[in-house]
Chain A
C-alpha cells in the first residue's frame, strides 16, 4: 500500500472513533487556552484583591476567587501553560532516554541488552513516586527540575517498547539489505529501523503526557512542585485543601481541568493506537 493510502486509512479510522475525536478536541482546546492565555483570561492571574477574598462563583468571577482574592478562572487558564509545558518537556526527555537505551538494547542484544534491561528492572522496582520524591527533596522545587525529574524516572516503558520493536525489525529484509550495503550501525538505527518503530512510540508518548501532567499536579499539590505565586493546577488545589471547609470551588475547578486534560490525552493516545493498528483494538 502506498503511503497516501495508509495515511488516508489512518485518518478515516481515527475520525470514525468518536471518543478519540473528542479526546483530540479537548487536547486542542487546552492547547489554544495555553497559547492565548493573555487574551482569554478575564483578569491578571496574580492580581491580589483583599476586598474579594474567597468569593463564591458569580458573574464577575465565574469560578470564584481564592484566599488572596485572585480570579480562579484566570489562574486555571494560565495554569494550563504550566501543565502542557511540564507534560511535553518531561515526555520529551523520557522518550529520548527510552529510545536511546531501548534501541541500543534491541539492536545489539547480548550483554548490552542484558545490562540495560536489568537496569530497567531495577528502576521498575522502585515505587516511581518514591523515586521522584527522593530526588525532588534535594533539588530546588522549580518547574525546570520537576520536568527533568519526571523525565528521568519514567523512560522505562518506552525503552522496553523500543527494544521489542527493534528485535523484530532488525531481522527484516530491508534492514538486512542496508546492512549488506555496509551502512553504519548508527545510520541503520536512526534512518531505517527507528522510523518504522515510531507508531507505538507516539502512542506511548501521548499517554505519557497525561501521566506527566498527573505527576506534576500531585507534586505541586504536595508543595514540592511548581511554587506559588506561579499558578499551577496542583498548587491551586493546595489552597483548596487549606480552605476545604469554606471554599469548595477552589478544590473543584482546578481538579476538573486536570481530569479533562488527562482524559483528553488518554483518549487521543488510545485512538491513535486503534487507528494505526485495528487489530490491537480491545
Chain B
C-alpha cells in the first residue's frame, strides 16, 4: 500500500506541471491584455503610461520568463496580487471564499450518495419494474435540464409564488439580530435551493451509474454461485453484489469533482453566494488575470486531490488494484 501511495503521488507531478502550463497558456495566449480594461476607457492614457503599466505587472518580459517567475512564486504559494482596485493577495481573496464552496459541494455530495445510490440499487434489482421506468425517465430529463433554468423555476415557485425560501445570499439582512436558533434556521433556508441545485445533476448521473454497475455485478458467476449456495436474496444483494458494485462508483465520485466545482460558478452567481465560483465569475468579468489563474490552478489541484483520494480508497477496499501495481 505504501509503495502504491508513493507511486500515485509521483504520477501527480507531471500533471501538476501540465496544469500550470495550461493555466498560464490559456490566459497569456488569448488576445487582449489585463491592462486593456484599465486603459481602454481612459482618454488620458498614452503609449508611455501603457508601457509603464506593462512593466509594472511584468508583462513586458518574454513569455517563458513570465511563466518561470510565476511558477517560482506558486511553489511558495504566492499567487500574486489581484489586478482589481483592492490589489489584495489572490490567495487571501480565494481563501475566504473557498470554505462556502467546499461546504455546499460536500453537503450535496452526501445528498447524492444518500439518495442516488439506493435509487440505482433498487432499479437494478427490480429491473423493468414501474419504479425502474419512472427513475429512467427522471434520469433522462435530469440530464437534459439546464441547472440555471431549474434554479429560475424554483426561485419563481418557492421564492416568489409561495414566498417560502429566500432567493439570494447566504443570510438575511437582520441576521445579526436573530437568536442562535434563528441564525441556524436562517442559514439552512438560504442553503436549501443552492444545495439542491448543485446536487441535482449528480442525482441523475449517479443513480444511472449505480444501476448499471449493479446490473453488471448481478450477472456475474459469483452471484449465481452465492444464490446456488442457498443464501437469502437479501444477503446476496447486500453482502455480495452491492459491495462489488460500489467499487467503480468510488472512481466516478472522484471524476465528478471538477464538474461540481465548475457548476458552482452557475448557482453561486444566480443566488449571489460569496463563494469561489462567484469570485471566478466576477474576475472573469473584470479580467483579473492573477485571480483567474489562481482559481484555475486551485480548481485543478482540488480535482487532482479528489481523484487521488478516490484512487486511494479504491485501492484500500480492493486489494487487486494495489497488488497489481506492486
Contacts and interface: CB of A to CB of B under 8 A. Distances in A.
B152 interface: yes
Interface string A214-256: 1001100110100000000000010011001100100110110
Contacts of A126: 19, 22-23, 258, 296, 299-300, 303
Interface in A68-119: 118-119
A251 B146 CA distance: 12
Contacts of A222: 265-266, 269, 281
A39 interface: no
A258 interface: yes
A125 interface: yes
A237 B160 CA distance: 17
A245 B284 CA distance: 28
Q: Among the interface residues B15, B144, B212, B284, which one has the most CB atoms of the partner chain A within 10 A?
A: B144
Interface string B292-320: 10011001110110010000000000000
A212 B212 CA distance: 25
A121 B296 contact: no
A263 B30 CA distance: 34
Given A134-B292, A244-B155, A123 B146 contact: no
B265 A122 contact: no
Given A118-B18, A126-B258, A134 B212 contact: no
A237 B292 CA distance: 26
B29 to A, nearest CB: 9
A124 B19 CA distance: 10
A70 B160 CA distance: 24
Interface in B78-110: none
B299 A130 contact: yes
A129 B261 CA distance: 9
Contacts of B22: 122-123, 126, 131
Q: How large is the interface on A (under 10, 10 to 19, 20 to 34, 35 or more residues)?
A: 35 or more
A134 B296 contact: yes
B10 interface: no
B51 interface: no
Please report whether the interface of chain B is mostly helix, strand, loop or mixed according to DSSP: helix
A176 interface: no
Contacts of A124: 258
B152 A122 contact: no
Nearest to B258: A127
Contacts of A245: 160
A131 B30 CA distance: 12
A251 B296 contact: no
A149 to B, nearest CB: 10
A131 B153 contact: no
A125 B299 CA distance: 8
A135 B26 contact: yes
A252 B145 CA distance: 12
A119 B18 contact: yes
Interface string B267-294: 0011000000000110111010000100
Interface in A189-210: 210
B148 A218 contact: yes
B39 to A, nearest CB: 15
B57 interface: no
Q: Among the interface residues A122, A130, A217, A255, which one has the most CB atoms of the partner chain B within 10 A?
A: A130
A138 B287 contact: yes
Contacts of B26: 131, 134-135
25 contacts: A118-B15, A121-B15, A121-B18, A126-B23, A129-B259, A130-B299, A134-B23, A134-B27, A135-B30, A136-B284, A137-B292, A138-B30, A139-B32, A218-B266, A222-B281, A224-B284, A237-B148, A241-B270, A244-B160, A255-B146, A255-B150, A259-B146, A260-B144, A263-B140, A282-B212
Interface of B: 14-15, 18-19, 21-23, 26-27, 30-32, 140-141, 143-150, 152-153, 155-156, 160, 167, 211-212, 215, 258-259, 261-263, 265-266, 269-270, 280-281, 283-285, 287, 292, 295-296, 299-301, 303-304, 307
